[in-house]
C-alpha cells in the first residue's frame, strides 16, 4: 500500500533508539532512571489519543499509560473527553455522581479548573466525563473559537503537571478538535483488523488543518493495538500501517490482545496495576518507556534550539 499522506503536512522525526540491541530490561525494570520533564525545566507534555474508528483501544491505552506515568513519579493529568466516560469509569469513578465534567468545563467561560479534578491515584488527577446530552449540544453549537476552549482552560495549570494524557471520542467532534489543538503529540491507535485504515485519510486531513492553523509543532505517532502474533492478517495489517504512515511514525511498541486487559478494566484498574508480571503489563511498560524517551529527547532538542537563538 502506498503512503498517501506525506510531509510536509505531517511532521516526521526520528525516534530514540533503545539503549542496546535487543534490550528489554529497561522497559520493565523498576530500577530504571526516573528522569522527569520537570527536571528539564518544561511544562507538561500533552499526548492526545485519537482515531475516528471506535474499538481500537484508545481508552485502554490512555488509562494504562496514565497509571504508568503516575507510578513512575510523573505528575500526571488524565482528561476524558469522550462522553461515554469509559476512561473515568475504568479509573473507578461513579459516573452517576459526576457534576463537574470535562464538557461542562469547556462551555464554562471562567471556571476554577482545579475543582473539576479528581485525585484518582498518587500523582494522578483526572478530569472526568459522563453522558450529558445537553452540554454536548451546547459545545457543538458554539461558533466562536470553540476549538481553543481546552487550551485556554489548561494554560494556567500546565506547570503543575509533567504529563497530560487525553482520551477522545471516536468522531471528529468539537472535543476531539480541542484535544488536537492542545496536544504536543497525537497517538493514533490502530487495531489489527482489516478496517484499521478505514477513514484514516480524513483524520489526517483534520490533523493537518489543525497543525497549519493552531499547532504547527504537532507530531504524530501510530500505535498498533490488539495484535495477535499467531494471525497472519495482523502481521499484514501492521505492514500496511507502516507503508501508509512510513516506518518513522510507527511506534516500535505493540499492544497485544490479552484477556487480562479486559479483566483489569472490569476491576476498575489498569492491567499494570492488577497483574504486574503479565505480558500485557510488559507491553504497556515498553510503550511507556518509548514515550518517555520521546519526551526527554524532544526537550533536549528544544533546549538546544533555544540555546542557539540566545
- pLDDT, tens digit, for every residue of 13-33? 334 334 443 444 344 443 344
Predicted confidence (pLDDT) per residue in 181-217, tens digit: 999 999 999 988 878 787 788 899 999 999 999 999 9
C-alpha cell at 191: 487495531
Q: What is the domain-level CATH number for residue 207?
A: 3.40.50.300
- The count of domains in the chain is 1
Task: Tell me if 225 is assigned to some domain.
Answer: yes
What is the rounded average pLDDT of the residues 143-149?
A: 85
What is the rounded average pLDDT of the residues 222-237?
A: 91
C-alpha cell at 21: 540491541
Average pLDDT value over all residues in the chain: 84
Range of the domain at 119: 43-250
Task: Tell me if 285 is assigned to some domain.
Answer: no
Give me the residues paired with residue 121 across strands.
Answer: 124
Predicted confidence (pLDDT) per residue in 67-106, tens digit: 999 999 999 999 999 999 999 999 999 999 888 999 999 9
pLDDT of residue 192: 82
pTM: 0.84
126 or 231: whose pLDDT is higher?
126
Query: Which residues, 6+ apart, have CB-to-CB distance to 147 below 8 Å?
Result: 174, 177, 178, 181, 210, 214
Task: Tell me if 205 is assigned to some domain.
Answer: yes
Amino acid at each position: 500500500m502506498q503512503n498517501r499522506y506525506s510531509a510536509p503536512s505531517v511532521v516526521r522525526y526520528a525516534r530514540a533508539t533503545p539503549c542496546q540491541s535487543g534490550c528489554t530490561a529497561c522497559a520493565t525494570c523498576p530500577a530504571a532512571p526516573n528522569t522527569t520533564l520537570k527536571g528539564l525545566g518544561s511544562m507538561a507534555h500533552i499526548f492526545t489519543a485519537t482515531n475516528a474508528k471506535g474499538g481500537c483501544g484508545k481508552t485502554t491505552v490512555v488509562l494504562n499509560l496514565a497509571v504508568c506515568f503516575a507510578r513512575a513519579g510523573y505528575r500526571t493529568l488524565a482528561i476524558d473527553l469522550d462522553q461515554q466516560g469509559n476512561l473515568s469509569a475504568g479509573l473507578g469513578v461513579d459516573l452517576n455522581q459526576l457534576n463537574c465534567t470535562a464538557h461542562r468545563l469547556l462551555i464554562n467561560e471562567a471556571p476554577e479548573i482545579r475543582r473539576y479534578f479528581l485525585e484518582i491515584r498518587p500523582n494522578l488527577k483526572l478530569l472526568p466525563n459522563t453522558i450529558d446530552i445537553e452540554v454536548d449540544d451546547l459545545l457543538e453549537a458554539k461558533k466562536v473559537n470553540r476549538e481553543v476552549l481546552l487550551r485556554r482552560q489548561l494554560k494556567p495549570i500546565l506547570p503543575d503537571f509533567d504529563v497530560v494524557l487525553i482520551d477522545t471520542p471516536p468522531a471528529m467532534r468539537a472535543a476531539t478538535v480541542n484535544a488536537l489543538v492542545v496536544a504536543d503529540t497525537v497517538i493514533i491507535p490502530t487495531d489489527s483488523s482489516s478496517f484499521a485504515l478505514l477513514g484514516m485519510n480524513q483524520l489526517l486531513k483534520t490533523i493537518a488543518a489543525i497543525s497549519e492553523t493552531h499547532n504547527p509543532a504537532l507530531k504524530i505517532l501510530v500505535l498498533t493495538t490488539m495484535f495477535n502474533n499467531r494471525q497472519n492478517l495482523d502481521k499484514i495489517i501492521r505492514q500496511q500501517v507502516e507503508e501508509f504512515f512510513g516506518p518513522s511514525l510507527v511506534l516500535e511498541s505493540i499492544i497485544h490482545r490479552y484477556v487480562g486487559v479486559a479483566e483489569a478494566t472490569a476491576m476498575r484498574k489498569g492491567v499494570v496495576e492488577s497483574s504486574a508480571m503479565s505480558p500485557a503489563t510488559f507491553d504497556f511498560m515498553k510503550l511507556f518507556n518509548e514515550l518517555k524517551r520521546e519526551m526527554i529527547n524532544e526537550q533536549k532538542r528544544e533546549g538546544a534550539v533555544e540555546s542557539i537563538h540566545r
